[in-house]
Amino acid sequence: MLERYFVKYQTVDRVRASWLGAAIERYVEWLDREGYAARNVYRRVPLLCHFAQFAEERGAQTLEQAAALVETFATHLASRDGRRDAGSAAQRRRLAKEARGPVNQMLKLALPEHQGGGRHCKPEPFQVEAPGFFVYLREERGLKAASIYHYQHYLNRFAAFLGRNGVTSLSQISAATLAASVVDSAPALVPNGRRGLCATMKVLLRYCHRERILTQDLSAAVEMPQAFRLAELPRSIGWEDVRHMLEAVDRRSPLGRRDYAILLLLVTYGLRGHEVASLTLDDLDWPRDRLRVPERKAGHWTVYPLAGVVGEAILDYLKDGRPTTADRHLFLRAVAPRAPLGAGAISQTAAWYLRKAGITVRRAGAHTLRHTCVQRLVDAELSFKAIGDYVGHRSPSSTQVYAKVATEALREVAMGDGEAL
C-alpha cells in the first residue's frame, strides 16, 4: 500500500524500517479504505515516523509505552522543538491537535483499548483516592457511557474547584467547601446542570463514605436546587419555520440529501437525536412501508408507517449520497472516515439549519424539532396518551408539559375572556 503513495522506494524502506513501521502501514491501508484523500497520507506518514523516532529516543519499546507519550509529543511538536515562545498559544494548541489526531488514530487501530485524547475524552477524576468509583458506576449502578460522561464533566469541575482552593485530599472536604463549590459553579450552569452537579457530588460522597474514604457522610450537606417540573415552555418552532428550515437545505449535494432526510425524521416522528443515529438499513421495511425505531429512551422499540416524503428523502440519500461501505448504519459521515453519525452530530445538524434559516430558538438542536412534532399533534387535538405513545414517552406525565405548547390559546386566556375560550 505504501508503494501506491510514495514513488521512491527509499521512502518506503525508511517507513518500514521504523519500529512502528507495521502500525504505520496498517494505518495507511485504513486511510485508503475509509476514503481519505492522498494528501492526508503524504502529510501524516512523516508525522508518524517522527513520533516513532520521538518515542524510541525516550525508551519506548511497546505500543503501550508509545501511547503514554502522545501528549508529550504533541506538546513538543507544537512548541517547535521545545521553544515556548514559538507562536501564540492558539497556534500551539492547533499544532498540538494536528499532531495528536493522526497518532491517536494509528494507535487505536493497533491498540483497541487505546482511548486517545480530544474534546470528548474527559479524564476520570479522583482516581488516586477513589480508584473504584467509576467501576462502581459502570458495574454496580449499570450506568451507560453517556451518563458516565456527565459524571466526568461535573466531577472534573468539582476537582478543579478543589485544586484552585488548595484542597489536595478528599478528607479535607467540609460542608462549607461543598457549598462554596456549588455557588462557584452555579452561574455557568443551567438549572438542570446545577441539579446534575449536586446529584453527582452526592453520589461521590456517599460512595466515599461507604468505602471509608470519608469518616462521615457529607452528602446531606449538598442541597439540591429546587426545580419545578412544568416551569419551562418546550422549545418548539412554528410549522412555517419548519418549511423555511427545510428550504435552507441544499439537496444537490450528498451532504444536503443526508441532512434533509435527518431533519424530516426528526420533525415527522419526533425522534430523539440518538434514535436517529442508531437507525440501520435493517430498520427500513420497504415492502410494508414501515420504519422501526430501536433503542428508545424508555427501553422499548416502535414501528411507524413510513411517510412518503420521508421515504423519498431516504431513497434519494441512499442512491446518491450515502458512501459505499459495509457499515449498516443509515447515516454516515460525508467525509472520511466513513463512520456512523453520533447523537451529537444529529443535534448539531438540526441546530445548523435552524441558524441558517434565521430561526432563533433557545438551545437549538434535535429536541427543538421533537417539540415541534408534538406541537403539531397537540394542534390536531390528539390525546396526551396517544401523543406519548407516538413520541415514545414511558409515562403519561412526561407528555403533560406539552399542554403548554398551545401558547397562543394560553395567551388569549390570560388576556381575554377565558370562560369564552
| Number of separate domains in the chain | 3
DSSP letter, residue 79: T
- 389-395, long-range: CB < 8 A, 24+ apart: 390/269, 390/270, 391/269, 391/270, 392/270, 392/272, 392/275, 392/293, 392/296, 392/297, 392/298, 392/300, 392/302, 393/298, 394/297, 394/298, 394/299
Please give the pLDDT value at position 145: 81
Cβ-Cβ contacts under 8 Å for 113 (sequence gap 6 or more): none
CATH of the domain at 181: 1.10.150
- Within-domain flag for 117: no
Containing structural domain, residue 215: 133-221
21: left (phi over 0), alpha (psi -120 to 50) or beta: alpha
The model's pLDDT over 95-118, given as tens digits with 9 standing for 90+, comes to 888 989 999 999 999 998 787 654
Q: Kindly state whether residues 186 and 285 are assigned to the same domain.
A: no
Q: Kindly state whether residues 90 and 147 are assigned to the same domain.
A: no
Q: Is residue 66 very low, low, confident or very high in pLDDT (cuts 50, 70, 90)?
A: very high
Cβ–Cβ < 8 Å for 301, 294 = yes
Please give the pLDDT value at position 226: 78
Q: Kindly state whether residues 148 and 284 are assigned to the same domain.
A: no
Q: Is residue 119 very low, low, confident or very high in pLDDT (cuts 50, 70, 90)?
A: very low
Round to the nearest angstrom and report the end-to-end CA distance of the chain: 74
Q: Kindly state whether residues 94 and 210 are assigned to the same domain.
A: no
Please give the pLDDT value at position 81: 47
pTM as predicted: 0.74
Cβ–Cβ < 8 Å for 52, 20 = yes
Lowest average pLDDT, out of 196-210, 224-238, 317-331, goes to: 224-238
Lowest average pLDDT, out of 129-138, 216-225, 335-344, 408-417, goes to: 408-417
- Could you identify the residue written with the cell 438542536? 365
Residues with a known catalytic role: 272, 297, 367, 370, 393, 402
Task: Using alpha carbons only, give the angle 32, 34, 40 rounded to the nearest 5 degrees.
Answer: 55
What span, in angstroms and rounded, lies between the C-alpha atoms of 125 and 245?
41
Portion of the chain with pLDDT greater than 70, in percent: 88
Comparing C-alpha atoms, which of 313, 308, 270 is closest to residue 289?
308
Lowest average pLDDT, out of 48-52, 204-208, 369-373, 414-418, goes to: 414-418
Q: Kindly state whether residues 153 and 58 are assigned to the same domain.
A: no
What span, in angstroms and rounded, lies between the C-alpha atoms of 173 and 162?
9
Q: Kindly state whether residues 346 and 376 are assigned to the same domain.
A: yes
Q: Kindly state whether residues 38 and 164 are assigned to the same domain.
A: no
Comparing C-alpha atoms, which of 370, 390, 340, 364 is closest to residue 271?
370
Q: Kindly report the number of other CB atoms within 10 A of residue 140's CB atom.
A: 10
Checking if the pLDDT of 412 tops 70, the result is no
Mean pLDDT of the chain: 87
Q: Kindly state whether residues 248 and 307 are assigned to the same domain.
A: yes
Partners of 329 in beta bridges: 280
- Within-domain flag for 119: no
- Within-domain flag for 250: yes
Please give the pLDDT value at position 117: 55
DSSP letter, residue 402: G
The model's pLDDT over 14-63, given as tens digits with 9 standing for 90+, comes to 999 999 999 999 999 999 988 899 999 999 999 999 999 999 999 999 99
Q: Kindly state whether residues 313 and 369 are assigned to the same domain.
A: yes
Q: Kindly state whether residues 145 and 106 are assigned to the same domain.
A: no
- Within-domain flag for 271: yes
- Within-domain flag for 337: yes
Please give the pLDDT value at position 139: 92
- Mean pLDDT for 228-251 is 84
Cβ–Cβ < 8 Å for 367, 235 = yes
- Mean pLDDT for 277-299 is 89
Please give the pLDDT value at position 46: 94
Please give the pLDDT value at position 403: 58
- Within-domain flag for 123: no
Lowest average pLDDT, out of 40-44, 149-153, 222-226, goes to: 222-226
Cβ–Cβ < 8 Å for 372, 285 = no
Distance set, CA 193 to CA 28, 227, 260 (Å) = 42, 11, 31
Please give the pLDDT value at position 92: 83
Please give the pLDDT value at position 82: 46
Cβ–Cβ < 8 Å for 59, 72 = no
Boundary (domain end) residue, out of 110, 144, 179: 110
Partners of 291 in beta bridges: 284, 304
Q: Kindly state whether residues 400 and 357 are assigned to the same domain.
A: yes
What span, in angstroms and rounded, lies between the C-alpha atoms of 222 and 372?
37
Please give the pLDDT value at position 408: 58
Q: Kindly state whether residues 164 and 101 are assigned to the same domain.
A: no
Q: Is residue 409 very low, low, confident or very high in pLDDT (cuts 50, 70, 90)?
A: low
Boundary (domain end) residue, out of 110, 143, 170: 110
Please give the pLDDT value at position 90: 80
Checking if the pLDDT of 320 tops 70, the result is yes
- Within-domain flag for 385: yes
Amino acid identity of residue 15, one-letter, is V
- Within-domain flag for 115: no
